[in-house]
Amino acid sequence: MTSTPAKNTVALSQQLAWTARMLHAVEQGRSLADALPTVPAALRPGVQALTFHALRHWGQATVVLQLLAQRAPPLLVRALLGVALTLLCTPATPGAQPDYAPHTVVDQAVAALAALKVPRAQAGFVNGCLRRFLRERPELEAQAAQDAVARWNHPFWWVQRVRRDHPQHWQAVLAANNQAAPMTLRVNRRHVARDAYLAQLQAEGYTATPVGEDGVVLARAVPVERLPGWAQGHASVQDAAAQLAAPLLLQGAALPARARVLDACAAPGGKTAHLLEYADLDVLALDVDPVRCTRIHDNLQRLGLQAQVRAADAALPAQWWDGRAFDAILLDAPCTASGIVRRHPDVRWLRRPDDIAQLAAQQARLLQALWPLLKPGGRLLYCTCSVFKAEGEQQVAAFVARHAAEAKVLPAPGHLLPGGAVPLDGINDNAAGGLDGFFYALLQKAPLA
């Protein structure tokens, strides 16, 4: 993030007001993906950067605010104070702090109240809270650090769950979630070799390193339209962990020509596209949301790929299946998204503890519904972008126990933890910033006797 705004940039007070609206929306259960488009286009990049920063430090800010204010202020005022405190608090990670002078943050936060249309009497309260924080910062931060929510910037139940599921790595997982994820590309091998594309990037002044079979990690994020060959479909944005799906499902599989493959929960189409880049396949891509199906179409069109795309609920095959079995199935199941908090910092504050059980039940229904659609000898790759074991190894163990006679577990990575908390040979070794959190299980149906 940049330093204090220059003369010709948008006033910080305007950005703070809109950031407060974003934080208020999240606290009301609305996702940033839904809320951010309401921000005026000229303000959106700065507001998104401030909002991401605030969400990564929201636990600390809210605990400090509780110490500063005996009575809870109005919700928008609380959100504004929280945003300002995330700019004033000492970050756990050096270099993670936007460079605004403390007096500027205080003054601009007070000025932001006018845009939020809250009573003018709140100006003194906001000013007083922030100035008291600056006077007593070491004591207040030390006191807040005794609270796990402030220390780890996650809900307490989330901290407990990660600690239980990954007792050797829970601290690394939580710390990784508070870092910005790198921008990773998947090179379209049908258009250009990965190393050739890497050379193009470097020739145009981009610092980048290879990862996996088709991936490239950029040292700094850039607008996609500036990437060489973007409009021609030479590359897509996709984390290295997600790029494992296509090779896991297809490598070593005895697939017929033009094998029939189902991508069961396909939107926005990244894994669908990678499957088609990887091999000549007859792919059916499903998603329950018709709007998201449009995104699949758009992504495939840019990449020069074709698949049958249908809006349908994968858990209800009677409504869409034509009775022809699939040679392979990819089930990227709906989940808590607890593995991609680096990219979606609102997720941790939107989720509730009972979401895990509800989503695990949905995952189980999908596995049960799709398994009969797989040919004998075929493969099903189950994956989630979650670090919670209930959505990963526990889910698969329960499924295999129900289908012990016909389901064989093939080698797969299992749980990948965000930011390289646990290195994965051949992937994390050269993935700057590590991978997103993912789970992979590869199941094979027993062939006919």
Q: Active-site positions?
A: 385
Q: Measured on CA atoms in the order 182, 188, 189, 195, is the torsion positive or negative? A: negative
DSSP string computed for 315-345: T-GGGT--SPPEEEEEEE-----TT-TTT-T
Of 140, 142, 121, nearest to 130 by C-alpha is 140
For 96-195, list the strands marked E by DSSP. Answer: 183-187
Q: What share of the chain is helix, strand, coil (3-state, %, to 5)?
A: 45, 15, 40
Structure tokens at 428: 């994390």
Question: In whole angstroms, what is the distance from residue 177 CA to residue 343 CA?
Answer: 8
End-to-end CA distance of the chain: 62
Can you list the alpha helix ranges (DSSP code H) found in 178-289? 194-203, 245-250, 270-278
Q: Is 21 exposed, middle or buried (0-12, 13-18, 19+ CB in 10 A)?
A: buried
For 193-268, list the strands marked E by DSSP. Answer: 208-211, 215-218, 235-237, 259-263
For 414, the enclosing helix (H) or strand (E) is strand 407-416
Of 213, 410, 449, 444, nearest to 328 by C-alpha is 444
Q: Is 16 exposed, middle or buried (0-12, 13-18, 19+ CB in 10 A)?
A: buried
Cα atoms in the 13 Å half-sphere on the side-chain side of 50: 33
Q: Measured on CA atoms in the order 338, 366, 395, 252, is the torsion positive or negative? A: negative
Structure tokens at 271: 């894994």
Question: In whole angstroms, what is the distance from residue 109 CA to residue 389 CA?
Answer: 41
Structure tokens at 290: 């018709």
For 407, the enclosing helix (H) or strand (E) is strand 407-416
Contacts of 58 (CB under 8 A, 6+ apart): 23, 82, 86, 153, 349
